[in-house]
Structure 1
Amino acid sequence: MLTTSLMSIRRIALKNYKAFVSTGDGTVNVKEEDYLQQHPEAKPVIVIDRFEGKSEINGFVYKELSDWAAMLVQMNIAHVIFLTETVASNQRLSESLPNQVFKNLILSDASKENSRNYVLSQLEDYLYYNKKSKGENVKEPESEKEIAENNDSDSEADTSVKKAEVILNEKELQEIDASLEPLGGRMLDLQAFVRRVKSGEEPSEALDKMIEQASEQITQMFLSDKIDSNKSAQAWELIELLSANPVIPFHEIVNKPLFKAAPETGIMELENNGLITVSRDRGVLQEIRPAKPLYRAAFTYLINDPELAKVLKTRYLLKVVGFETGRIKKWEEELKPLGKVPDQKLFKTRLDYLSGKINASNAVITKCEEEIKNLSK
């Protein structure tokens, strides 16, 4: 099927191609490659929506699609656009096009006002008939024409928002506004929120369940026993930091014990797996944020769960202890031959350096063990 599609796309791109072009000096032979290079507008635009890059179910499909798209680009017969929810797909695409520089366009979340308007416009009919069915007194909204005239607007969305605001009392509007705050402007989360409310859940209840569900996803994907202990500890450290601050500068992560060895690799792996998102300046990592606004609420939920936080924090501290112990062993191995040198003054600078490193790591281990002791109480 993909091969047939490729041939059809090639035929479309070369629809107006002529092998020979007449000029004032005679007839010129034009190659297909030259024609496509000179006429980019002739190439069709292929849009691949919801490209995940990896999946536990039918994951081979994404590999086939990326290879197929790579062939289109290499043959120069189409422009290819991938629509994705995360940057995780970049890794898959890089495997298919290792020498290609991708042009990325990141769409920001909707504003608070637009998010609110979207939710109210979607809930308008449900709110009205739900209150009617309960026998509550509902203030009849004005007709769409009257609302449009009163607000100098004929937008269907604006009309729905105004009608919803009339149907709801101030307390109910405040509850919806409070529930939307942690969701931010991520469309998929807003749609999920609307579906939950329409299914009969209260706005606050819908939000709580979404946060709980997101927390379970994070735990399964990044913090479970099946995950590499080092990656799990790195994830927990970022979860702690991002629960307290909406944004973390990358330079603050560089000196963290578990990120020292390869900070960029660790951060980018967590980004590719969908835990965080990282802003860049000319390719240099700058700021770290949760992958989506709802995740920050989920991070706080995990931190505030005493039993779960105790287990995850202990696991993280044990990983730090193991990391620092490994560093001390490495330095001790270097000290052994130096201790046999008759005149140790020759290596005094190096000995002082290693001694300082060992003392610093010992201090970290002591601090971690003290925290583990307190957590076990």
Structure 2
Amino acid sequence: MPLLKVEQISAGYGDETVVNDLSFHVNRGEIVSLLGPSGCGKTTALRAIAGFEPISSGQILIAKRIVSSPEMTVPPEKRSIGMVFQDYALFPHLTIADNIAFGLRKKPAVDRRVQVEHLLDATGLQGMGQRYPHELSGGQQQRVALARALAPRPTLLLMDEPFSNLDVELRERLSMEVRDILKSEGISGILVTHDQHEAFAMSDKVGVMRDGTILQWDTPFNLYHEPNHRFVADFIGQGRFIAGTVKTPETFDTELGELRGNRSCTEHIGNQVEVLIRPDDLVPDNNGDIEAVVKDKAFKGAEILYTLELPTGTRLLSLFPSHNDHHMGDTVRVRLNAEHLICFPAGNRP
């Protein structure tokens, strides 16, 4: 059953529409992300859900109750939501325990103390309750901000680029920790981010946004392997396109030979298309039927991402195990191992 329903909302500033006819829903216990480039409307959508921005059309419901419409807006503090901001927004003059307890001022002292200790433990901040924010690292401060948002036991947690000020390793680790905490507490969450790795690591569903609307609302797996829009295919993951001609609804003629897709192509037989090839679709194989020249390489630890040039001049990406260390100009052999092949009309740029 949906906890949150966003139904065809529009919002903006002055004469500029930033969110346009946006719809999605979040089930109880589900974590979702709004993912997209800067200026796509994801933060405005989050602020409308929080009650910080009015909407000009549509409606927002939380637990079946209308909280936003063009005629009315329920104040943020009456929506049973928590919010974690990019800049943490901690009170520097309060201890960590007092920061966490800030939203519990109307609760009995015993209940406040029990809840604070529970959240200190849940967020890995045991023994730090009497410290002040400036005495903690950035990752620890973000945990405090999370604990403070969770303290009143909201039904929904909103997170606006909460990890963007952290280094990559800490960002990845903390995003997984936050997911575990939300799941264990049974709290639904919405993450706004431009980082697809962060969105994929945390979320059950992800909405890829552009120009104020969602182009695809799907699982991370489907967004990567079965993008329904050329922009989504370009924005998610890495990949290159090769030219093809539709032979049947499931097959294409390309410079790599006849390729078969896992779903029907909407283009008519004979039409020119572009077929998406991901780096993990090209597998190193000494007996492979595709010969290519190494033009670039990027070491990624367990893997190396190679840019390979075909005899035709087309360049594709391929992931090799890191012990397959080739040099620029080396000739390698690969084979296509693509279970998911998606095509888009030729020249249909995002």
What TM-score does the superposition give when structure 2 sets the normalisation length? 0.28
Q: Which structure dedicates a bigger proportion of its chain to helix? A: 1
Say which structure, 1 or 2, has more relative contact order (CA 8 Å, 6+ apart): 2
Instruction: Name whichever structure is richer in strand by fraction.
Output: 2
Please say which structure displays the higher CA radius of gyration. Answer: 1
TM norm structure 1: 0.27
